[in-house]
Structure 1
Amino acid sequence: MKDFINLIKENAKNSPQTIAVIDRDRKITYSEFLALVNSISHHLVSTLKPRIAFDLSQSIESYALIVATLNVGGTFCPLNPEAPIERKRQILSEFAPDFIVVDSKHKELELKPEKAILISELLSNHTKPKISINHSDDDTIYIIYTSGTSGNPKGVKICRKALNKFLEWSIPTYGANEQDVWGQFSLLSFDLSIVDIFTCLCSGSTLYAMNDMNAKKYRPANEIEKQKITIWHSIPSAVEFMIKNEKSKTHDFSSLRLMSFCGETLQKHHVEFLFGKKHDLTIFNTYGPTEGTLFCTWQELKSKTYLEYFHHSMSIGKPIPGWNLQLKKTDEYEGSEIILYGEYIGKGYLGPVNDSKFKAIKVKGDNVESFETGDIVNTENGNLFFSCRKDRQVKIKGYRVELDEIDLRIREFLNLPCVTLVWNEILYSFIETNKNIPVGELRQFLKTKLELYKIPNGFHAIDEIPRNQNHKVNVDSLIKKLP
């Protein structure tokens, strides 16, 4: 198993003129990118195993900073540029970085001025020899914060061997090469970005930084066409944006050969839209919490066979090599909770966390590290299908109600994005449409699928379901829209 740093250096040596990153109107070759990595490395190497926090958008410089930090044996922690300042300060207090890299004087003053440094100050040229540092497989290389059920940020620790093991699978499976342009959709504070950056740069492909927030949300289909993206990786909600794009203009998806999704449930209408755009497209549906290291299961979908992997939603597939699943039956749900275990899952949370679900379990007589995901799945014809989150189960007047089940049935009837929530023990569903909702017909359909206490009190049409910086549903914003 080669280390990811060595793979990037080999690409710079063997294909120096291949474009490594496209950042709006700027392009940088692999040779130039490695020189930038080396320059930043010389600034960081004076601190032993530096801890680097950064508040940056996707860019040539931020990618180089990430690689340079790991090149010198450090640990990085990305902040979400759109997050409230108090959340950033809370993370910085716990992570205790040696440096906080920012892209503006304003952020320098807003965070910790004594530790903040402008990214531009790390880019001066160096003529010193190349840095060579021995790395340990068990070193923590990055910490990404996830809110979890409590809403309090929790820093997940991921070690070097886990990323290398993932890349050992992802590089040949995605089959990226010098001809590919990889659309890097996710913010750097979202761990899907790690999949993009390292699978792409270790494969010698071109990484396209999708850092225009308006283009990302409102014109993703245009980005695919304009940049001739061949590999796309994002949450499934991005497909909803593409479907909206198509209503005003037909876009050319002929460059695409592979689309990969994670972070949400991939729906049948997403897949059918994409296969309608390109019949010979390959789609990967993947699953995995941040605590499991990137993602840990995958299912390949083709236009001729995808229905074999459909049951209310698309199958999340089977484990990738090195990751293991245990399905734990529970009396509360129809289905089983996924327990991840093995040596490549996260190494727990940073600092004291009272609700840690990292535990040692017995497998074939041995103690192994595990993580209780809180994700409930069902098995149909040997395939795994996501059912609901344990933290999306609520109690209303003594009844257990799974909000994901209600959403599933509404989508089944309307084929529209929707979100159900509970407020003051009353169920409300928001449905993304600019047309009138056939409430009577919808209620009659739901009565054939759900118990009466699960049928929402109100159905509200909304032009656009509000989403957070990672494009996941912003429930707090929906609550504010309630009558």
Structure 2
Amino acid sequence: MNTSTVRNSLSTLLADTAAATPGATALREPGGDTTYRDLAALAGGIQTALAEAGVRPGDRVAVLAPQTAAAVAAVHAVLSAGAAYVPLDPASPPARWAAVCGMSTPRAVVGTRDALAKLTAELPHLATVDLEAPWPEAPLAPVEREAADLGAVLPTSGSTGVPKGVAISREALLAFASWMVDTFEVGADDVIAGFSPLHFDVSVFSLFGAALTGAALAPAPPQLAGFPHELASWADDAGITVWYSVPYPLARLGTLDAVVLEQRLGRLRCVCFAGEVFPHRQLATLMSKMPWVRYTNLYGPTETNVCTFEQVLAPPDEAIAIGSPACGAECWVERDGERVDTEGAVGELIVAGPTVADGYWGNEDETARRFRFGREYRSGRAYATGDQVRILPDGRYAYLGRQDHMVKIRGQRLELEEVESVLGTADGVTGCCVVAVTPPGRPALLCAAVVGDQLDHAALRSHCRGRLPSWAIPQRFLEVPAIPLTSTGKTDRQEVRRRVMAELV
């Protein structure tokens, strides 16, 4: 079934599903289930509160809450009101929230009471809507918008220390969710694991894929990711059938006995992973223990959501590819500004298609640097990913890594220059270089080489903690007399990595 022909508006998505299946479970949480009828009523109350706060069609509204029934209702309320949602990471410091709000200029912010108090201490004039207030139920009043109108601004790391906001149309959000639903045959009987916070683009599927089909969304308690027994028990209790997350929690599940996995995750039928490379040995172990599951590697930066995919049919004995175009995308490889299409050619992956974002909100220079617009591109726009790939014999792509200084830490994209910009303002620091390293058998670590006198590593970490999200804080500091340079005078990141690795061994 092509769901895009059934549901073609994010404004009416929740209202339509609630009308069609009012008693179906929309959210499955440890504290109890929420039906689509109740979710729509909660969203209606929030929409009324947004109108009272001055929100109008075309505005932006920040959402500051973990993925709960109230937060999901808030996102749908914002979209129903004709506005665009700007998700803030609840785990980030208030200064980071304020920076994202400064970039996206929301009309109001919806969030939990404590978080709102911290944010308004930074931005006292920002209108707020308290998700914990006893809002009276009210019917949703969808405001129709054009498909090309803004649907979301997803914050990403910015090299200047100021977050960038990826501007995604309503059409692009719905195109990705619809592709996921159609490709993986998601239906009303499914229970979708919600692992990703709202600011992470992986959440687009769990948010809108569930509402497209009337499936249930089960937000995963974030603290469970590293505890495989507890994670498996949660999945068993929730009845998870469809899983989409970064590789880490899946790799942790792979440490359990096959019998335990079959007992607790026997209903799981589909696993998709994205955000970072899944080490092939860990994936092979998981697949050998859960052979009944369909496994798929999804690839794409936030600016494209997902643009390629690779079905993994057997436990791999080498690194898996990122595959072929997905979501109606057109992909090609460029080297030195020219397209290359021969087997084995290496270059930057360029993507055009319906899920490609419109650019960076309020940042014309960065938009012009990374995006291209014109009728020659599918859906009128293309994005230069900055990722190096190799063309395989059958035309699929193998991922080789970044060509700039962007890395993935815990599945989150990070500009190393952003961390350096913050760390460079700490007391006593006269120079710094931040790198990501992956020690054997361990996840990626963010490490900083720093120059200065009498540096206090705890103070440096505290300085970063007040300005950066948790995953962007260096885990190790290495004091050096000077930052090493290449022969051209540029920072020698390769040498910094070598020194960091020598310290870790």
Shorter-chain TM-score category? 0.7 to 0.9
Q: 1:167 aligns with which of 170, 177, 189?
A: 177
Deviation at 1:83, TM superposition (A): 0.8
Q: Superposed, which structure 2 residues align to 1:2-401 within 5 Å? A: 2-45=8-51, 47-49=55-57, 50-105=59-114, 107-111=116-120, 112-114=123-125, 115-121=127-133, 123-126=135-138, 130-210=140-220, 212-218=221-227, 219-244=230-255, 252-292=264-304, 294-303=305-314, 307=316, 312-330=318-336, 335-342=346-353, 344-352=355-363, 354-356=365-367, 357-360=369-372, 368-382=380-394, 383-392=396-405
Amino acid at match of 1:319: P
Q: Distance in 2 between matches of 1:72 and 1:148?
A: 29
Rounded to whole Å, the distance in 1 between the matches of 2:143 and 2:277 is: 41
Match of 1:456 in 2: none
After TM superposition, give the deviation of residue 227 of structure 1 in Å: 2.1
Counterpart amino acid of residue 17 in structure 2: N
| Cα displacement (A) at 1:28 | 0.7
SS of 1:217's equivalent in the other structure is coil
CA distance in 2 between partners of 1:470 and 1:175 (Å): 35
Alpha-carbon spacing, 1:475–1:89, altered in 2? closer, same or farther (3 Å): closer
1:476 maps to amino acid? P
CA distance in 2, matches of 1:60, 1:197: 11
Deviation at 1:389, TM superposition (A): 0.7
**C-alpha displacement at 1:197, in angstroms?**
1.0
The unaligned stretches of length 5 or more in structure 2 are 338-343, 408-434, 452-467, 480-499
Where does the alignment leave 5 or more consecutive residues of structure 1 unmatched? 395-402, 426-468
Matches of 1:117 and 1:246 in 2, distance apart?
Answer: 46
Q: How many residues align?
A: 415
Query: Who is 1:476 aligned against?
Result: 474
Q: Does structure 1 conserve the Cα–Cα contact (< 8 Å) formed by 2:77 and 2:140?
A: no
Which TM-score applies when normalising by structure 1?
0.76
Q: Residue by residue, what CA displacement relative to the aligned partner does 1:399-446 show, whole Å, maximum 9, x if unpaired?
A: xxxx99x95xx76xxx65455968489xxxxxxxxxxxxxxxxxxxxx
TM-score, normalization by structure 2: 0.73
Shift of 1:358: 3.0
Q: Is this contact kept in 1: 2:192–2:242, CA < 8 A?
A: yes
Change (3 A) 1:355 1:248: farther
Alpha-carbon distance in structure 2 between the residues aligned to 1:181 and 1:367:
32
Letter in 1 for 2:49: H
In the other structure, the counterpart of 1:434 is none
Alpha-carbon distance change, 54 to 364 in structure 1, aligned in 2, over 3 angstroms:
closer
**One-letter amino acid of the structure 2 residue matched with residue 73 of structure 1:** G
For 1:271 and 1:243, the matched residues in 2 are separated by: 8
- CA-to-partner distance for each residue in 1:266-323, whole Å, 9 max, x for gaps? 232232122222212101111111111x2121122223xx64xx7x421112112432
Report the Cα distance in structure 2 between the residues aligned to 1:324 and 1:260, rounded to whole angstroms.
21
If asked which structure has higher relative contact order (CA below 8 Å, sep 6+), I would say 2
Counterpart contact for 2:253–2:286, Cα < 8 Å: no
State the one-letter code of the partner of 2:381: E
Deviates more, 1:251-260 or 1:216-225: 216-225
TM-aligned CA deviation for residue 21 of structure 1: 0.2
What's the CA shift string for 1:320-371, capped at 9, x where partnerless?
Answer: 243221211259x972111122454111112236444333367859994222
Give the superposition deviation at 1:35.
1.6
Q: Distance in 1 between matches of 2:383 and 2:349?
A: 9
Check 1:110–1:159 CA distance in 2 against 1; reply closer, same or farther (3 A cut). Answer: closer
State the distance in 1 between where 2:142 and 2:76 align: 14
**2:387 partner SS:** strand
Post-superposition shift, 1:232?
A: 0.8
- What RMSD, in angstroms, separates the aligned Cα atoms of the two structures? 3.4
Whether contact under 8 Å (1:76, 1:141) holds in the other structure is: yes
